[in-house]
Amino acid sequence: MSPVSRFLSLALLALAGCERGPAPGHALVDFRHTRAPVSTPVAAWKEDGVSAEELKQRLEEMSPALRERYQTLEQKREYVEGLARFELLVQEAVARGLQNDPEVVASTKRALVSRLMRAQLDEAKPPVSDAEIAAWYASHQDDYVRPEQVRLSHLFLAAPRADAARAETARVKAEKLLAEAKALPPKDFTAFGRLARAHSEEPRTQPLDGDLRYRSLEELGRDFGPEVAEAARGLLASGPGSLSGVVRTDAGLHVLQLTGHQSALNLKLEDVREQIVNRLSQEKRTRAWAELLAGLERRSGFSVDAATLSRVHVDVSTPMRPLSGPPPGSIPAPLPSSPVERP
C-alpha cells in the first residue's frame, strides 16, 4: 500500500470513529456558557460571553423585589461579573481535568439520572383515556360510593329468647358488665376491648376484643339483628366512646360501644376524575420506568454471577473504613408529579 493510500485509509478510519461518537461510558460535554456567537455582549471572555438579551431575560426571571437590587450600572456590573467569574472557574476546573474527578463524576451521574427521569416520566406523560378513567371508577366504586358506616365493639352473652332461665342469668351479668364499662374512661377503647375479650361469647369477634369493624346499619341489622342496628343509630348523636344499654336480640344480649363513624359517600365520576387521572398516570409512569430499566439491562447484557456474589463475605464486626470515593448511585423511585389523594 502506498503512503498516500495508507494516509487516506487512516483518515477514513478516524472519520468513522468520530461518526460513531464516544465509547460507552465516555461523553463529550460542552461546558461553554453559550454555544453560539454572542450578539451585543455585555461581557466577553475567550470564546464565550454574556449577551444583553440573556442578561435581560435573567433579570426578568427574578422577582420584582430582587430586581430592585440591580438598578444602577455598578449593581448590574457586579451581577454580570459574578456570572462571568463562575464560568471562568468552570473553564479552569476543566483545564485541570477535574471533570473526571470521582466526586464530580458521581454528581454528574446523579444529575443525568434525574434528568433522564424527567424526560422519561414527566415530559413524555402517557395520556389517560376517558375509557380508562371510567373503567377504574367502575372497578373501585366502593371507594367513592358507600352508605353511612359505623364501627362498634360489642360484648355479647348468648341467651336465646326461648330459654328464660338462661336469659335472666345473662341479663344480670350483662347489667353488671355494662356498669363496669360505664366506669371506664369513655374513649378508652382498649379497656372496653379487654372487657369484651374476657367475657364476650361471640366466637368471631371475641378474639378481636369485640371489634365489629366498619359496617353499614343495614349490614349490622342483617348480621346481628335489627335491634343492634337501631341501637347503633342512637349512639351516633353522642359520638365515639358512647355506650348502649343492654340490647336484646333473638340470639342474646349485647353491650355496644361506638368506636367510629363514616358519613355516607356518593362521589360521581366527574368529582374524582382528576384523582383517577393522577393515579393512572402514576401507574403508567411506573410501568414506563420499569420497562426502561428492563430494556437497558437486556441490551447491555447485564447479568449477576450468583456463585461469586455468594462468596463475598459481609463482616458486620469490623470497624467502618474511611470512604475510598463517593458512594455509588442508586435508582430513585418514580414519584408522581402531584400527590394522589384518596376521597
* 3-state per-residue secondary structure call for 126-144: CCCCHHHHHHHHHHCHHHC
Quick one: pLDDT at residue 340? Answer: 40
Quick one: pLDDT at residue 288? Answer: 86
Whether residue 53 contacts residue 41, with contact meaning beta carbons closer than 8 Å, is answered with no
CA distance 45 to 205: 80
Q: Record the pTM.
A: 0.58
**For 70-84, b where at least 16 C-beta lie within 10 A, e where not — what string?**
beeeeeeeebbeebb
Question: Which secondary-structure segment (H or E) carries 219?
Answer: helix 217-224
Whether residue 152 contacts residue 232, with contact meaning beta carbons closer than 8 Å, is answered with yes
Quick one: pLDDT at residue 289? Answer: 87
DSSP letter string, 218-250: HHHHHHH-HHHHHHHHHHTTT-TT-EEEEEE-S
Q: How far is CA 8 from the centre of its chain?
A: 59
Neighbouring C-alpha atoms within 13 Å toward the C-beta of 103: 3
Quick one: pLDDT at residue 325? Answer: 78
Q: What is the pLDDT along the chain (343 residues), one digit of tens a residue?
A: 444 344 334 333 343 444 456 777 788 888 888 877 778 899 998 888 999 999 999 999 999 999 999 999 999 999 999 999 999 999 999 999 999 999 999 999 999 999 998 888 877 678 899 999 999 999 999 889 999 999 999 999 999 988 889 999 999 999 999 999 999 998 899 999 999 999 999 999 999 999 999 999 999 999 999 999 999 999 999 999 999 999 999 999 999 999 999 999 999 999 999 999 999 998 888 888 888 899 999 998 989 999 999 999 988 898 988 888 777 777 776 654 444 444 4
Whether residue 217 contacts residue 233, with contact meaning beta carbons closer than 8 Å, is answered with yes
Whether residue 163 contacts residue 253, with contact meaning beta carbons closer than 8 Å, is answered with no
Whether residue 305 contacts residue 85, with contact meaning beta carbons closer than 8 Å, is answered with no
Write the burial class of residue 283 (CB in 10 Å: 0-12 exposed, 13-18 middle, 19+ buried): middle
> Quick one: DSSP state of residue 123?
I
Whether residue 174 contacts residue 256, with contact meaning beta carbons closer than 8 Å, is answered with no
* The amino acid at 139: S
Can you tell me which residue has the cell 468520530?
18
The crossing angle, in degrees rounded to 10, of helices 52-60 and 73-95 is: 110
Quick one: pLDDT at residue 20? Answer: 57
Quick one: pLDDT at residue 111? Answer: 92
Task: Output the CA angle 339-341-343, nearest 5 degrees.
Answer: 170
